[in-house]
Amino acid sequence: MDIQAIDSQYILPTYARADVEFVKGDNATLFDSNGKKYIDFTSGIGVVSVGHANKRVADALCEQVRNITHISNLYYIAPQALAAQKVVQTSGYDMACFFANSGAEANEGAIKIARKHGERDGEIKRYKIITLNHSFHGRTITTVKATGQEAMHNYFGPFPDGFVYADGIDEIENLLDDHTAGVMIELIQGEGGVEPQDKAKVQALAKLLKEKEIPLIVDEVQTGCYRIGEFSASQAYGIEPEIITLAKGVGGGVPVGIVMTTLKEVLQAGDHGSTFGGNYLSSRAVCEVVDILNELKNDGTLDATSEYFNGALEKFYQNHTDIFTQKVGIGMMCGLRVKDGDTLTNIINEARKNGVMVLKAGRNTLRFLPPLTITKEEIDAGFEALSCAVTEC
Q: What is the pLDDT along the chain (393 residues), one digit of tens a residue?
A: 799 999 999 999 999 999 999 999 999 999 999 999 999 999 999 999 999 999 999 999 999 999 999 999 999 999 999 999 999 999 999 999 999 999 999 999 999 999 999 986 667 789 999 999 999 999 999 999 999 999 989 999 899 999 999 999 999 999 999 999 999 999 999 988 999 999 999 999 999 999 999 999 999 999 999 999 999 999 999 999 999 999 999 999 999 999 999 999 999 999 999 999 999 999 999 999 999 999 999 999 999 999 999 999 999 999 999 999 999 999 999 999 999 889 999 999 999 999 999 999 988 999 999 999 999 999 999 999 999 999 887
Radius of gyration of the chain (CA): 21
- Containing domain of residue 86, as a range? 68-298
**Do 191 and 280 fall into the same domain?**
yes
CATH for 274: 3.40.640.10
CA distance 247 to 266: 22
**Do 195 and 115 fall into the same domain?**
yes
**Do 149 and 243 fall into the same domain?**
yes
* Residue 40 counted as domain residue: yes
**Do 37 and 171 fall into the same domain?**
no
**Do 228 and 336 fall into the same domain?**
no
**Do 141 and 218 fall into the same domain?**
yes
Residue 303: partners with Cβ closer than 8 Å, 6 or more residues away: 229, 297
CA distance 23 to 37: 11
**Do 115 and 209 fall into the same domain?**
yes
Residue 135: partners with Cβ closer than 8 Å, 6 or more residues away: 146, 147, 148, 149, 165, 184, 185, 186, 189, 192, 219
**Do 20 and 158 fall into the same domain?**
no
| Domain final residue pick, 281, 298, 315 | 298
* φ, ψ dihedrals at 31, nearest 5°: -130, 135
* Residue 62 counted as domain residue: no
* Residue 61 counted as domain residue: no
Question: Do residues 236 and 224 touch, judged by C-beta distance below 8 A?
Answer: no
| Domain final residue pick, 240, 265, 298 | 298
**Do 22 and 120 fall into the same domain?**
no
* Residue 60 counted as domain residue: no
**Do 94 and 196 fall into the same domain?**
yes
| Domain final residue pick, 278, 298, 318 | 298
**Do 22 and 87 fall into the same domain?**
no
**Do 326 and 364 fall into the same domain?**
yes
* Residue 387 counted as domain residue: yes
Question: Do residues 144 and 156 touch, judged by C-beta distance below 8 A?
Answer: yes
Question: Do residues 338 and 328 touch, judged by C-beta distance below 8 A?
Answer: no
Domain count, the chain: 2
